Amino acid sequence: MIERKERKPYWRHTKWQVLASLIPFLAIVVVLPLYSQQLNSSRFLGFPLGYFLAAHGFFVIAVVTVASYVNRQNAIDHWHGAHEDM
């Protein structure tokens, strides 16, 4: 259990962690479709590049974002003494 005086810094650190994880992901989700027509002029594995990145790139970016979030949140939990022993 985290001490009362440590809760505010813990949640501030966690809030910045969430924002740091969401902003790059949202930027990719918004920017990539804007350039899809230009990307579709190139081909990758027989598919238009814009389609390929939309179909596979978003999934890969989501998995990497979630994995890095979990890893960094575990570090925050250990730093503030809020981790759970399993």
The packing angle between helices 58-80 and 4-34, to 10°, is 170
Q: Show the tokens assigned to 71.
A: 């890893």
pLDDT digit of tens for each residue in the chain (86 aa)?
Answer: 677 777 888 889 999 999 999 998 888 888 888 888 888 888 888 888 888 888 787 888 889 999 999 999 999 888 888 777 76
Cβ proximity of 81 and 4 under 8 Å: no
Q: How far apart are CA 1 and CA 25, in angstroms?
A: 32
pLDDT for residue 71: 93
Q: Please indicate, yes or no, whether the overall pTM of this predicted structure exceeds 0.75.
A: no
How far from each other are the two terminal CA atoms of the chain, in whole angstroms? Answer: 14
pLDDT for residue 86: 63
